[in-house]
Amino acid sequence: MQTVPENPPSMPNPLSGQPGLSPTPPPVYTGSTIGLWLRDLLVSAVASVLIITFLYQPVRVEGTSMLPRLEDRDRLFINKFVYHISAIERGDVVVFHYPRDPEKSYIKRVIALPGDRLRIEHGVVWLNSRRQLENYVPEEYRDTRSVAEIVVPEGSYYMMGDHRSISSDSREFGPVERSLIYGKAVFIYWPARDAGVVR
């Protein structure tokens, strides 16, 4: 019968003394677990503040022209940086300075891009001779207004609200210049029942 001692004698390291090989170094501890946790928490908090300050801005919706997705007094975050690295696309919900009074901000959906040929016939939007299926506009929010065909100027975008029957938009004040657009609506955070991504 063979027995194993409770405290076996230390064995020589087989790697010691061999060229090119060294024993695994012992772990080095630089502080307590709580200290590391607090450091990581502080770094995360600072990063979050910087992200919100420089990338996102909270705004409040005033009015009902973007029903049913955006309701009056909804709070949401807009991304102020995204259009510095990517293009504005049809369907984006954007925030821009009102062309007739830059002190005011509007939130609308991008319907047409620079160079698009647009016309509206009894509430139906046609882009480049193709009828648009706008699933984000419920039937009860449509209207029968018409707009003669235009070509959206370079550097401008055609905006419309989803609640077509009450929205003041590019049908009234014309296409919006790119320089007036300063954010993309991304997320509703209040009230909780409306929380979610803006589409």
Going from N- to C-terminal start, the domains of the chain cover 58-197
Calpha distance 178→18 (Å, rounded): 69
Q: What local confidence, expressed as pLDDT, does residue 156 receive? A: 98
CB count within 10 Å of CB 35 equals 10
Checking if the pLDDT of 177 tops 70, the result is yes
Calpha distance 175→130 (Å, rounded): 20
Q: Which CATH architecture has domain 58-197?
A: Ribbon (2.10)
End-to-end CA distance of the chain: 75
Residue 16 bears catalytic tag: no
Q: Where are the alpha helices (DSSP H) in the chain?
A: 33-54, 82-85, 170-173
% of the chain residues with pLDDT over 70: 81
% of the chain residues with pLDDT over 90: 71
Q: What local confidence, expressed as pLDDT, does residue 1 receive? A: 37
Q: What local confidence, expressed as pLDDT, does residue 19 receive? A: 53
Which of the residues 10, 16, 48, 108 is marked catalytic? Answer: 108
Checking if the pLDDT of 66 tops 90, the result is yes
Checking if the pLDDT of 52 tops 80, the result is no
Residue 65 bears catalytic tag: yes
Which of the residues 44, 65, 80, 170 is marked catalytic? Answer: 65
